[in-house]
Amino acid sequence: MKYYILFGPPGAGKGTHAGAIAQKYNLKHISTGELLRAEIAAGTELGRQAKSLIDAGSLVPDAVVEGMIESAFDTIKGVDGFLLDGFPRNLAQAADLDKILEKRGEAVTAVVALMISDETIRTRIKGRAAVEGRADDANDETISNRIRTYHAQTEPLIEYYKAAGNFHEVNVDGGTIELNRAKVLDLMESFA
């Protein structure tokens, strides 16, 4: 099985490009953010607890997202691998993912990082707010906190995966969606 991590700050286009990648390589796209939003929409206890943290632009507890990831690995069949989007988001999650995969005799295949500037994060998220109606996209303070959370907690993963030798970066700061998707698919092709 292949285990790809689609990495990048909020608004980099992970969700925008995940579908095409997953389809081309028969991968299951797992977005922890989408799974959490589904829990909120379904009105579950987990969703209720996650909502205030998501609305504040903070991370939900590691155990919550790791449980979702493990249960997806256990239950989803008929694919050649997984495309993780929005997970891992801090060093503890990255280390736990390594352990989860090790137990299964597997390892992270590659990290595909979509890189954009902080200024582009703000423009993209504001554009998306009008289209997708996400509460955490509509509030300036939440966006600022998500950017801070990214730099403080998620960005250190770049060094973690560079040290592991499987970090690959694509600059998607400018250009059209089509152009950026072609760049990402070109990189994916180099792993095939």
Residues at the interface with ligand AMP (CB under 6 A): 10, 31-33, 36, 53-54, 57-60, 65, 86-87, 89, 93, 136, 146
Closest distance to ligand AMP from the beta carbon of 120 (Å): 15
Question: CB-wise, 10 or 13, nearer to ligand AMP?
Answer: 10
SS3 169: strand
Closest distance to ligand AMP from the beta carbon of 165 (Å): 23
Cβ within 8 Å of residue 188, ≥6 positions away: 4, 21, 24, 25, 112
How far apart CA 31 and CA 8 sit, in angstroms, is 13
CB 107 within 8 A of CB 2: no
Question: CB-wise, 43 or 78, nearer to ligand AMP?
Answer: 43
Would you state the structure tokens that stand for residue 146, as one six-digit string? Answer: 């998500």
Closest distance to ligand AMP from the beta carbon of 134 (Å): 8
Question: CB-wise, 152 or 182, nearer to ligand AMP?
Answer: 152
Closest distance to ligand AMP from the beta carbon of 59 (Å): 4
End-to-end CA distance of the chain: 12
Question: CB-wise, 36 or 113, nearer to ligand AMP?
Answer: 36
Chain position whose Cβ is nearest to ligand AMP: 33
Question: CB-wise, 93 or 180, nearer to ligand AMP?
Answer: 93
Question: Residue for token digits 């990831």?
Answer: 69
DSSP 173: S
Cβ within 8 Å of residue 174, ≥6 positions away: none
Closest distance to ligand AMP from the beta carbon of 124 (Å): 11
